[in-house]
Amino acid sequence: MDQTHDPSLRSWVEGADSHADFPIQNLPLGVFSPRGGSPRAGVAIGELVLDLGAAGLEVPVPLNDFLAQGAAARRELRARVSALLASGATPRPEWLHRQADCRMHLPARIGDYTDFYVGIHHAVAAGRLFRPDNPLLPNYKHIPVGYHGRASSVVPSGTAIRRPNGQRARPEGPSFGPAERLDFELELGFWVGPGNEMGEPIPVAHASEHIAGYCLLNDWSARDIQGWEYQPLGPFLGKSFGTTISPWIITPEALEPFRTPQDPREPGDPKPLPYLWDEADQRGGALSLELEAFLITPSLREKGMAPHRITLSHARHLYWTPAQMVAHHSSNGCNLQPGDLIGTGTVSGPDRSGYASLMEVTSGGREPLALASGETRTFLQDGDEIVLAARARREGAVPIGFGPCVGRVTPALA
């Protein structure tokens, strides 16, 4: 581990050292527009953002070409940014903007977006709603189950999410109208770096070299639309109306201190096939990452009450590592490209405190959630806001966060 992780490292940027998400040990990449300015590459530091071009470290936007360069280019940039922002370097406040004054964009042009389903407790909880005695399908512990998502409607944190209209099953036949069972899903996302040529799979031992960074991902889901449409080809309009991501790319370099062994398997679980199995990945391919989801209703907001924490979960509940997902995804020759986005699927914990969607928390809408404002919720109402957060912690390391992933529900079109 290089000195950019040194816990004693401090920054001249005011407030950065005590910042929960963006101390100098993090240095995530993003694309921002300052007020009245055009989109450009930046690095978050405390409540501020460093304009890389102003600092003489121009990176073209969107970041696809930079992500394509892989770890060496990221490490070099990280070392230079760390040196510029460290205590002892000449303070250059003119290179900084307040994040609150900036607009964040998607960091890269997303070619394809794939969503996996490797949060095993979510798969069990969702499966139990349909198959109480046999919630996990036979393939689950052999294969990182995933599907293609919709890339065009992936939006950065803060973008309003309009409640979708769609077909909802009714006893008298389907009717078309606003989704009544609108839900969120708390997921970890990651960005593809160099990628592979079509027909040339990425071996699992090299898969981590193709992961350029991480984000939070809210896979908004209209359960009623989804339930009626999804047979036999899987989710479509119940998901494609919008997917929110946190806009900062948290690099593998920043997460190095938070690597942890992959061990979600129970005794008796099958050993993964060789194309999915790498000893180094098993030793350090998972992440020690707390994941949270909060609900803010208009009433909580008006009364000045705290957001309601729905979920406290952890990335250790992922049954497969990101490297295994990359190896599997490309194992048939499918080409992954720089800037592709991959979601893990809903990262639920084993019990209600860690359930990472309302479908799970409310047992399919049967057990409403009670809020301090006196309200209840089964599914999301107009004006409700979901905030996702992630925090990497470990003894002896400075904790870092991902920054928020926020979306507010606006009313359906009449």
* Binder among 33, 69, 165, 363 for a second copy (CB under 8 A): 165
Smallest separation (angstroms) from a second copy to the CB of 220: 11
Nearer to a second copy, 112 or 185 (CB): 112
**By CB under 8 A, which span of 84-92, 160-168, 293-301, 373-381 interacts with a second copy?**
160-168
Query: What is the rounded distance in angstroms from the CA atom of residue 283 to the CA atom of residue 281?
Result: 5
Spell out the residues 6+ positions from residue 404 whose beta carbon is closer than 8 angstroms to its own.
157, 216, 246, 387, 388, 389
Restricting to residues 293-352, which ones interact with a second copy according to CB under 8 A? 328-329, 331-337, 340
**By CB under 8 A, which span of 26-34, 84-92, 163-171, 207-215 interacts with a second copy?**
163-171
Strands (E), 307-352: 308-314, 341-346
Smallest separation (angstroms) from a second copy to the CB of 325: 11
Name the token pair of 409.
Answer: 């529900």
Q: Which of 122, 308, 328, 329 is catalytic?
A: 122
* Binder among 106, 155, 212, 405 for a second copy (CB under 8 A): 155
CA geometry: angle 195, 241, 43, nearest 5 deg = 50
* Binder among 175, 306, 353, 394 for a second copy (CB under 8 A): 175
Q: 140: exposed, middle or buried (C-beta count within 10 Å: 0-12, 13-18, 19+)?
A: middle
Q: 153: exposed, middle or buried (C-beta count within 10 Å: 0-12, 13-18, 19+)?
A: middle
Smallest separation (angstroms) from a second copy to the CB of 29: 23
Restricting to residues 181-200, which ones interact with a second copy according to CB under 8 A? 198-200
- Indicate whether 373 belongs to the interface with a second copy (CB under 8 A): no
Smallest separation (angstroms) from a second copy to the CB of 38: 20
Restricting to residues 114-133, which ones interact with a second copy according to CB under 8 A? 117, 127
Backbone angles phi, psi at 343, to 5 degrees: -100, 150
Name the token pair of 288.
Answer: 């020690």
Smallest separation (angstroms) from a second copy to the CB of 73: 22
Asked about 122 being catalytic, the answer comes back as: yes
Restricting to residues 46-105, which ones interact with a second copy according to CB under 8 A? none
Query: What is the rounded distance in angstroms from the CA atom of residue 161 to the CA atom of residue 409?
Result: 5
8 A C-beta contact, residue 314 and residue 122? no
Smallest separation (angstroms) from a second copy to the CB of 352: 23
For the window 219-258, what string marks contact with a second copy as x by the rule CB under 8 A?
A: ---x--x--xxxxxxxxxxx-xxx----------------
Query: What is the rounded distance in angstroms from the CA atom of residue 250 to the CA atom of residue 377?
Result: 32
Residue 83 CA to its chain's centroid (Å): 28
Spell out the residues 6+ positions from residue 399 whose beta carbon is closer than 8 angstroms to its own.
20, 391, 392, 393
Q: Which residues bind a second copy (CB under 8 A)?
A: 111-112, 117, 127, 137, 139, 142-143, 145-153, 155, 162, 164-167, 173-176, 198-201, 222, 225, 228-238, 240-242, 270, 273-275, 328-329, 331-337, 340, 413
Active-site positions read 122
